[in-house]
């Protein structure tokens, strides 16, 4: 009995646990990537003990891959040497870590997964507990297979209604980020629920737990249901039975209700994710780069949305438009469907899968004075390059429509 996060931990520990308790649990997977693995290796070497279970370690090259400079190349070389030295079986380079974790079937409902990345919350889209941790703890978990947690209190976000044309799951999540604010859920679990969530595909659901990080949450969760299990069987190659846990007589710290039919397209303005405005207020603002990518919004449906808007047209002459599919699987599917050709014909640069321009290392770095409109989850100062550049966050449809005009444009007017 309890909230979804209490249910997940109670099942794992075989006894009822409540918010506020500190527990030690076996973790199902320990994820880290080319940015966070080096310090984990350092902690691991300091501890000086063997790896507990190699099967549970998943490593990625995605943040700066293929290497854009010598330092990144040497970093990859060092990690790869470690992978070989330890004989680690799960090493990936097929796209953004969180997307590939889900596609490759590492994420099961009820699982407890830790990641050396703040958006490890993403796994909550499939009813798993995912939380981001510092690198030292990743190294500790390699040795112990375990991690301690304080069970968080929960906020429930009930979403009802249907979105209007031109309004997507990203717009809804941006609205919630504006409502809660950047520390509105600090240390909490945020449960996204209601008929609206149940009606979404897994690909769309991912946006909510993914961006729960932006409101300070420890984890973001969605109950696993038939949509989840169908996805796991058909897309992630997993077999049931699945632990589709549900909250039961739960105590919430706060319940927020939103009727999504009332919402229009939204934009999070530089440099705070909570700085969310209806698109009408920022329409016409000149943009120099459109970036469609990241673990938030670069799945097949997002690329399809963009391609449908750009088909047979040309992007604005002075706006560079970059599309970075979240994974190779998505890239190939888009390729087979002719979407990549459509995007390239329209003047987009389509890059290799990965984090791409998201952290300002490669693939679309911004110059001082430039403004980007992107499908990312964060718009911190300097995130995509120059600290004097501006980052605005929006849905794939808003990004694609704006690519045509070179200005922030309302997708409902396209």
Partner 1 sequence: MGKVWKFGDNLNTDEIIPGRYNITIDPQELAAHVFCEIKPEFTQGTQSGDVVVGGQNFGCGSSREHAPIAIKGAGIRCVIAASYARIFFRNAINIGLPILECPQAAAEIREGDEVQVNLSSGVITDITTGRSYQAQPLPDFVLKIAEAGGIVAFLQEHDIDELMTAAGGAV
Show the DSSP H helices in 14-163 as ranges.
37-47, 70-86, 97-103, 135-144
Q: In angstroms, rounded to a whole number, what is the distance separating the alpha carbons of residues 93 and 301?
A: 22
Q: Is 119 in the site for ligand SF4 (CB under 6 A)?
A: yes
Percent helix, strand and coil across the chain, each to the nearest 5: 35, 20, 45
What residues pair up with 320 in beta bridges, in sequence order? 289
Q: In angstroms, rounded to a whole number, what is the distance separating the alpha carbons of residues 80 and 86?
A: 10
| Residue 334 contact partner, candidates partner 1, ligand SF4, none, CB within 5 to 8 A by sort of partner | none
Q: Is 133 in the site for partner 1 (CB under 8 A)?
A: yes
Q: Is 269 known as a binding-site position?
A: no
| Residue 87 contact partner, candidates partner 1, ligand SF4, none, CB within 5 to 8 A by sort of partner | none
| Residue 205 contact partner, candidates ligand SF4, partner 1, none, CB within 5 to 8 A by sort of partner | none
If the CB atoms of residues 137 and 410 are measured against partner 1, the closer one turns out to be 137
Query: 297, 290, 299: which is closest to 339 by C-alpha?
Result: 299
If the CB atoms of residues 186 and 261 are measured against partner 1, the closer one turns out to be 186
If the CB atoms of residues 95 and 406 are measured against ligand SF4, the closer one turns out to be 95
| Residue 14 contact partner, candidates partner 1, ligand SF4, none, CB within 5 to 8 A by sort of partner | partner 1
Q: Residue 249: which residues within 8 A CB-CB, separation 6 or more?
A: 1, 2
Q: Is 302 in the site for ligand SF4 (CB under 6 A)?
A: no
Burial label for 138, CB within 10 Å (0-12, 13-18, 19+), is buried
- Tell me the DSSP string of 363-409: SSPBPTT-EEEES-S---TTTTB-TT-EEEE--HHHHHHHHHHTB--
| Residue 119 contact partner, candidates ligand SF4, partner 1, none, CB within 5 to 8 A by sort of partner | ligand SF4
Site string for partner 1, 134-153 (x = CB under 8 A): xxxx-xx--xx-x-x-x---
Binding footprint of ligand SF4 on the chain (CB under 6 A): 63, 96-98, 117, 119, 294-295, 355, 358-359, 377
Binding footprint of partner 1 on the chain (CB under 8 A): 12-15, 22-26, 43, 46-49, 118, 132-137, 139-140, 143-144, 146, 148, 150, 183, 186-187, 216, 218
């Amino acid at each position: 009995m309890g909230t979804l996060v209490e249910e997940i931990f109670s099942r794992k520990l075989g006894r009822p646990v409540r918010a506020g308790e500190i527990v030690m649990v076996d973790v199902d997977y320990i994820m880290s990537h080319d940015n966070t693995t080096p310090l984990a290796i350092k902690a691991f070497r300091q501890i000086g003990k063997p790896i507990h279970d190699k099967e549970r370690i998943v490593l990625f090259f995605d943040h700066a891959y293929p290497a854009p400079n010598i330092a990144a190349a040497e970093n990859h070389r060092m990690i790869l040497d470690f992978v070989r030295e330890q004989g680690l079986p799960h090493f990936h380079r097929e796209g953004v870590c969180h997307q590939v974790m889900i596609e490759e079937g590492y994420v099961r409902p009820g699982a407890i997964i830790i990641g050396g990345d703040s958006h490890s919350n993403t796994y909550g889209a499939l009813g798993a507990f995912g939380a981001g941790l510092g690198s030292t703890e990743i190294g500790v978990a390699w040795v112990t297979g375990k991690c301690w947690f304080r069970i968080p209190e929960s906020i429930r976000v009930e979403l009802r209604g249907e979105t209007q044309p031109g309004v997507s799951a990203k717009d809804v999540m941006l609205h919630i980020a504006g409502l809660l604010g950047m520390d509105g859920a600090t240390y909490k679990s945020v449960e996204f629920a209601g008929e609206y969530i149940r009606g979404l595909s897994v690909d769309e659901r991912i946006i909510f737990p993914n961006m729960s990080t932006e409101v300070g949450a420890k984890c973001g969760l969605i109950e696993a249901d038939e949509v989840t299990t169908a996805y796991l069987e058909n897309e992630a190659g997993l077999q049931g039975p699945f632990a589709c846990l549900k909250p039961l007589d739960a105590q919430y710290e706060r319940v927020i209700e939103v009727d999504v039919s009332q919402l229009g397209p939204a934009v999070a303005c530089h440099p705070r994710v909570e700085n969310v405005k209806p698109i009408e207020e920022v329409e016409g603002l000149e943009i120099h780069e459109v970036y469609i990518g990241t673990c938030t919004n670069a799945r097949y449906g997002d690329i399809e949305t963009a391609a449908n808007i750009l088909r047979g047209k040309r992007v604005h002459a002075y706006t560079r438009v970059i599309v970075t599919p979240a994974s190779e699987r998505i890239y190939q599917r888009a390729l087979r469907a002719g979407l990549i050709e459509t995007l390239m014909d329209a003047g987009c640069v389509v890059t290799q899968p990965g984090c791409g321009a998201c952290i300002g290392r490669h693939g679309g770095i911004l110059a001082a004075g430039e403004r980007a409109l992107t499908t990312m989850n964060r718009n911190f100062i300097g995130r995509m390059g120059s600290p004097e550049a501006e980052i605005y966050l929006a849905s794939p449809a808003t990004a694609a429509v704006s690519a045509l005009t070179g200005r922030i444009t309302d997708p409902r007017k396209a």
